[in-house]
Structure 1
């Protein structure tokens, strides 16, 4: 892979929302896996001796839940318990590996809970033992993009919710209507808990949508 190809792949990965994860405490709300992964990676980087690697969030193995009374968005997981699968390297000179792994697991579970994700387990895999922590460089910044303009009353109502940074168009238009279903997507400011903002945004969207509409909200970014 050339340098240009690597840059393009890194940007594409940062722009793609990934699967949509149910916000366990808020009915009808999802968080983009990409946004969750960025927060969890930062938390993992704070554990001494840990160099984070690949991280995925999916449905827990034992998850069997009834169909929700609202539409699940494309690429979305049905509401239910979640599982983190994370790879990491460890700087060999330091604490015993089991101690480091347990701290990492605890940090990831706490960070996930603060996001509002119902993560019940975290499976960790050590990929390398390092003599020293590698020098790190920030990933390439994605191309700048303006927030989409919309005069949809649902979007305008959501934009008034404290903590909503902008409406987005990562999965579809800012407001997607299909029959009696209404879906709105937006970014959340980093200083606000995504689940709390999603709950308030859901209430605002439901109030602005046609009576009886099945409303769902997507948090696609944490800015």
Structure 2
């Protein structure tokens, strides 16, 4: 890992964003902060009767493998590839444990693949406790807030409509249904990178990275794909575009 990648990882950890997970496959050109995805999955888990979710992580199935993204990725983002959800949970003692685990696995898989758009191929569950009738959770009950919850929302920013390519890209992204706003976790809500023929692995054309927050009405991956298309169409040279989602909700 390079020094800039270590620095970016440190920044993300301080902000509580976690890893930058790939949305979809190599051609989708989008990533989501692990914290944002985790909150969606935990919300789905809390709706499962007879289950109280605990610690949850999203990791790569094969850390040494990964596809090459079609566009430049955000700094130290994970490459496209299958992901694994690992979750702890407590379950009701009033039914067989496999029944509760099956419901939880189905809920997590649906939330990860359909609501967010992660390529989750494995869900590993670990039962950590049994609940009696008095301690069974009520589905939909208000969850305890995670540490530093809402950090990405606090970074919501505005981009002035000043006629620059950055402002045109921002306007195109904000016009997409499902986009709540722009964020600036990695420095700028819209970053335009120019080709530099003098550098190795130089870009063949301009590249735009857009950082944003989305709602829950539409699948996150679908919104990201629409943003990429809208930003590309908004600029005359039709640059490559990458999307980073830092908040969902």
Normalising by structure 2, we get a TM-score of 0.75
Equivalent residues of 1:43, 1:108 under 8 A apart: yes
Q: 2: distance between equivalents of 1:128 and 1:203?
A: 47
Per-residue deviation, 1:48: 1.6
Q: Distance in 2 between matches of 1:102 and 1:137?
A: 22
Question: 2:207·2:239 contact (CA, 8 Å) conserved in 1?
Answer: yes
Q: Contact 2:52–2:89 at 8 Å: present in 1 too?
A: yes
1:3-33 deviations in Å (ceiling 9; x for gaps) = xxxxxxxxx9895222111111561011221
Cα distance in 1, alignment partners of residues 57 and 155 from structure 2 = 28
SS of equivalent residue, structure 1 residue 22: strand
**Distance between the aligned counterparts of 2:57 and 2:13, measured in 1?**
13
CA RMSD of aligned residues (A): 2.6
TM-score, normalization: structure 1? Answer: 0.84
Structure 1 segment 1-223 matched on structure 2, within 5 A: 16-24=16-24, 27-61=28-62, 64-92=65-93, 94-114=94-114, 115-131=116-132, 132-133=135-136, 138-139=144-145, 142=150, 145=154, 147-151=156-160, 152-179=167-194, 180-209=206-235, 211=237, 213-223=239-249
- What is the DSSP-based 3-state SS (H/G/I as helix, E as strand, rest coil) of the residue aligned with 2:157? coil
SS across alignment from 1:120: strand
Structure 1 gaps, min length 5: 1-11
Gapped regions of structure 2 (runs ≥ 5): 1-11, 161-166, 195-205
- The 3-state SS of whatever aligns with 2:90 is strand
- The number of residue pairs the alignment matches comes to 211
- Paired residue secondary structure (2:188): coil
Q: Is the 8 A contact 1:91 1:130 kept in 2?
A: yes
Q: How far, CA to CA, are the matches of 1:104 and 1:61 in structure 2?
A: 23
Q: C-alpha separation between the residues in 2 aligned to 1:64 and 1:138? A: 36
